Amino acid sequence: MSFLAEIKDAVTARAALLVLGVLALQLAFVTSYIGAFHQPKPSDIPIAVAAPTGRITEQTVEQLGGLPGDPLDPRAVRDEAEAVEQIRNREVDGALLVVPTGTTDRLLVASGAGASLSQALEAVVGAAERARGRTVEVTDVAPADPGDARGLSAFYLVVGWCVGGYLCAAILAISAGARPANSARAVIRLGALAAYAVVAGLLGTLIAGPVLDALPGSIWGLWGLGALVVFAVGAITLAFQGLAGVVGIGLAILLVVVLGNPSAGGAYPYPLLPPFWRAIGPALPPGAGTYAARSIAYFGGNGAGGPVLVLGAWAVLGSAVTLACAVFRRGRPGAAVGSGLPG
């Protein structure tokens, strides 16, 4: 057999398509990460403004809202107490307290929501204040833990949970076939995934918290969040595998890694991301998980409800699609238990 014939015999059309799919996934990875991170720019950062009089407050809100490029989204509050409450409830990312009796105002930030975000606020508000002949004194009302460099521990913890979720689902596919043979097998896979998620959520929480002292907050809260993240991502992967076979693993990586990680608000929180990534981030598991983890660690759980609902929706959708695919396959000729197909 000639060498060309060997190539034709060895390289099947299916193998060629899979390699092209991997190339496309790689290029999407490069495009997504560089597109999200190459030029961070603050846009519509929610910030509270308080002053002794309503007139000064309105003037300051108008001045900050009129900055070129719209880096801030200012809103008036009554006083410092309300400003701090809104920061801790994650309604705003900072607050400017105007002190008209002097030339120095106060800027409240929350580095627990991401160091790059608080630094962006300092830079934007500081420049605006200098243009008015004033200065700012910065106070961090929700500081990142000393062991949590730049507030990234929550993001990396969630990334680890996501990796565990889709790898666990992928291993189930490798060991027993990409598609479960019937609904009972699908339930077994989802049950195995749930057990894994509980263990992975606990161990990740213990490593990030008591072991490395990198992330404060409720161990119970982070454990529950971790179990939900792992199960949601794993269920999505099982669903994709049910729909597309082994190609479903690549689809899960596309959703969670290629699109989800750069839009998660880890290195650059949402107000610093380009519009596309800022829009999709809160709706994907890495973004929802990261926001919720920071809320639990630094804001007493405030603001975590919405992201938890997003994760719950992914978990339910993934489980439902996995079961539906198994039921549909069970009804197809040749797919019955005992047909020799892997479960």
pLDDT tens digits, one per residue of 92-150:
999 999 999 999 999 999 999 999 999 999 999 999 999 999 999 999 999 999 999 88
Are residues 271 and 219 part of one domain?
A: yes
Instruction: State the average pLDDT over residues 264-289.
Output: 96
Identify whether 71 is part of a domain: yes
Q: Is the pLDDT of residue 336 over 60?
A: no
Last residue within a domain, chosen from 93, 119, 140 = 140
Same domain, 102 and 124: yes
Is 16 a member of any domain?
no
**pLDDT band at 338, cuts 50/70/90?**
very low
CA distance 336 to 27: 39
HEC sequence for 93-110:
CEEEECCCCCCEEEEEEC
Residue 341 lies in a domain: no
Give me the domain span that covers residue 125.
Answer: 45-140
CA distance 183 to 265: 37
CA distance 80 to 97: 7
The DSSP call for residue 111 is G
According to the model, what pLDDT value does residue 217 have? 92
Q: Indicate the pTM of the whole model.
A: 0.90
**7 domain residue, yes or no:** no
Kindly indicate the confidence band of residue 247, based on its pLDDT and cuts at 50, 70 and 90.
confident
**136 and 226 in one domain?**
no
- What does the pLDDT read at residue 331? 53
Select from 101, 100, 99, 95 the least CA-distant residue to 82: 95
Q: Are residues 324 and 194 in the same domain?
A: yes
Query: Is there a domain that residue 34 lies in?
Result: no
| Per-residue pLDDT, 326 | 87
Chain centroid to CA 94: 21
Quote the distance between the C-alpha of residue 330 and its chain's center.
35
Is 165 a residue whose pLDDT tops 60?
A: yes
Tell me the C-alpha distance between 92 and 271, whole Å.
11
Based on the fold, state whether residues 247 and 160 are members of the same structural domain: yes
Contact 296, 225 (CB under 8 A): yes
Q: Is 91 exposed, middle or buried (0-12, 13-18, 19+ CB in 10 A)?
A: middle
- Count the domains in the chain: 2
CA-closest candidate to residue 29, choices 247, 263, 236, 235: 263
Last residue of a domain, one of 120, 140, 160: 140
Spatial separation of the C-alpha atoms in residues 169 and 4, rounded to whole Å: 38
**144 three-class SS:** coil
Angle between helices 219-244 and 285-298 (to 10 degrees): 180
pLDDT reported for residue 149:
83
94 with 179, same domain: the answer is no
Q: What pLDDT is attached to residue 299? A: 97
Rounded Cα distance between 178 and 190, Å, is 13
Whether 260 is in a domain gets the answer yes
Q: Determine the 3-state secondary structure of 166 from DSSP.
A: helix
Same domain, 111 and 186: no
Tokens of residue 86, six digits: 């809104």
Measured distance CA(249)–CA(247) in Å, rounded: 5
The answer on 312 and 189 residing in a single domain is yes
Q: With CA atoms as reference, report the closest residue to 49 among 91, 88, 95.
A: 95
- pLDDT at residue number 48: 98
Q: Please say which residue of 83, 112, 140 terminates a domain.
A: 140
Name the residue with higher pLDDT: 122 or 9: 122
Q: Is residue 224 part of a domain?
A: yes
pLDDT reported for residue 4: 76
46, containing H or E segment: strand 45-50
CATH number of the domain to which 78 belongs: 3.40.1710.10
As a whole number, the mean pLDDT across the chain is: 91
Same domain, 270 and 218: yes
pLDDT score for 330: 63
Pick from 114, 106, 57, 113: nearest CA to 88: 113
pLDDT band at 17 (very low <50, low <70, confident <90, very high): confident
Q: pLDDT value at position 332?
A: 56
Is the same domain home to 238 and 269?
yes
179-237: pLDDT as tens digits: 666 788 889 999 999 999 999 999 999 999 999 999 999 999 999 999 999 999 999 99
Q: Can you spell out the DSSP letters for 182-236?
A: SHHHHHHHHHHHHHHHHHHHHHHHHIIIIIT----S-HHHHHHHHHHHHHHHHHH
pLDDT in tens, 19-65: 898 999 999 999 999 999 999 999 999 999 999 999 999 999 999 99
Residues 315 and 220 in one domain: yes
319 in a structural domain: yes
Cβ(121)–Cβ(76) below 8 Å: no
Do 225 and 299 sit in the same domain of this protein? yes
